[in-house]
């Protein structure tokens, strides 16, 4: 049974508990404006949008209430309810990954424009911040700067200030920060970026090495930037110990509910790693205890999934999807 604040059951908030999958509703849909929310509902909307139980628990049989916080923060964004900025930005500082917070909430915070900058700056100054939440906050700053030219200078300054801690930051966070600075063509940050690469403190899966980044930042490849020259390191394999071909290998689509494993897939992967043995249809079992090769197949896919979350390609796709929704 879902347990939540009884105030959510009063109209018009009760609608959000029944609205269902937010990804079926475009972010710019007028549906939210038509629900009758007013300024008096803002405090309860903030409670709903930041409700720990609904954000971090799940009931497969009754999922709608657990999706309500997403709808609530969208309403707050559309209302430009500035009282919600700090509570919503605080959600980025989580202990583990929460897909809606990383995928949908950045759109909402971006709606507040320059008013959101102080809260984002405060979060990015935290040494104990959750890495992917900090990445999302930096992305929002870059998005705000691109939408509001007057915010560019301050946004670049805040992102660069966090990057100056490159030795303490995770390499993935440094990659994100550099990507945002490239989006803003922040040539004024080139010296800090170069120093981060020289210290080998950047995950190269995002944008490549220093020499790859210079033109993306808006610099001529031969432009002089003070500081020692980083190595021209190649991008390492996404999955250590496996050939590059596996980095881009995707399993074939399968009907819903079926495992994406088959003799054909196993033999394809085996050929990529130099294993010449073949499996026949009768050799394939879905039980991992009876078919140990399934574990071997799943392990690189799990590693690949974790690594892909760190790749700039995924972040760029996320940004493009957000922009399409605006």
3-state per-residue secondary structure call for 132-187: HHHHHHHHHHHHHHHHCHHHHHHHHHHHHHHHCCCCCCCHHHHHHHHHHHHHCCCH
pLDDT band at 307 (very low <50, low <70, confident <90, very high): very low
- Collapsed DSSP state (helix, strand, coil) of residue 262: coil
pLDDT band at 254 (very low <50, low <70, confident <90, very high): low
Token pair listed for 198 = 């020289």
What are the domain boundaries of the chain? Answer: 244-307
pLDDT band at 261 (very low <50, low <70, confident <90, very high): very low
Radius of gyration of the chain (CA): 23
- Nearest C-alpha neighbor of 107 from the set 67, 65, 146, 136: 136
Reply yes or no on whether the pLDDT at 183 is more than 90: yes
Helices (H) and strands (E) in the chain, counts: 15, 0
pLDDT value, residue 79: 95
Reply yes or no on whether the pLDDT at 43 is more than 80: yes
Query: How far lies 223's CA from each of 50, 195, 211, in Å?
Result: 47, 15, 11
pLDDT band at 289 (very low <50, low <70, confident <90, very high): very low
Is this structure's pTM higher than 0.85?
A: no
Token pair listed for 195 = 């120093």
């Amino acid at each position: 049974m879902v347990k939540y604040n009884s105030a959510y059951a009063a109209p018009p908030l009760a609608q959000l508990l029944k609205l269902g999958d937010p990804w079926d509703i475009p972010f710019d849909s007028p549906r939210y404006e038509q629900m009758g929310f007013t300024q008096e509902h803002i405090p309860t909307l903030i409670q709903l949008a930041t409700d720990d139980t609904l954000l971090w628990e799940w009931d497969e049989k009754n999922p709608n209430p657990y999706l309500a916080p997403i709808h609530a923060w969208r309403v707050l964004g559309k209302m430009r309810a500035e009282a919600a900025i700090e509570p919503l930005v605080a959600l980025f500082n989580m202990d583990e990954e929460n897909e809606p917070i990383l995928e949908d909430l950045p759109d909402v915070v971006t709606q507040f424009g320059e008013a959101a900058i102080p809260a984002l700056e405060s979060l990015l100054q935290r040494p104990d911040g959750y890495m992917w939440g900090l990445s999302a906050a930096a992305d929002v700053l870059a998005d705000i700067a691109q939408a509001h030219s007057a915010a560019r200078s301050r946004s670049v300054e805040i992102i660069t200030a966090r990057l100056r801690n490159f030795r303490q930051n995770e390499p993935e966070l440094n990659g994100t920060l550099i990507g945002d600075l490239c989006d803003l063509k922040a040539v004024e940050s080139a010296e800090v970026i170069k120093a981060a690469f020289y210290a080998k403190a950047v995950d190269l899966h995002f944008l490549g090495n220093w020499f790859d980044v210079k033109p993306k930042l808006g610099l001529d490849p031969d432009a002089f930037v003070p500081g020692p020259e980083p190595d021209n390191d190649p991008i390492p394999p996404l999955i250590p110990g496996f050939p590059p071909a596996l980095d881009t290998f995707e399993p074939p689509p399968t009907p819903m509910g079926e495992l994406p494993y088959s003799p054909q897939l196993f033999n394809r992967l085996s050929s990529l790693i130099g294993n010449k043995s073949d499996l026949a249809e009768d050799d394939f079992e879905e039980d991992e205890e009876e078919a140990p090769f399934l574990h071997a197949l799943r392990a690189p896919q799990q590693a690949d999934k974790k690594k892909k979350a760190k790749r700039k390609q995924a972040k760029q796709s996320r940004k493009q999807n957000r922009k399409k929704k605006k």
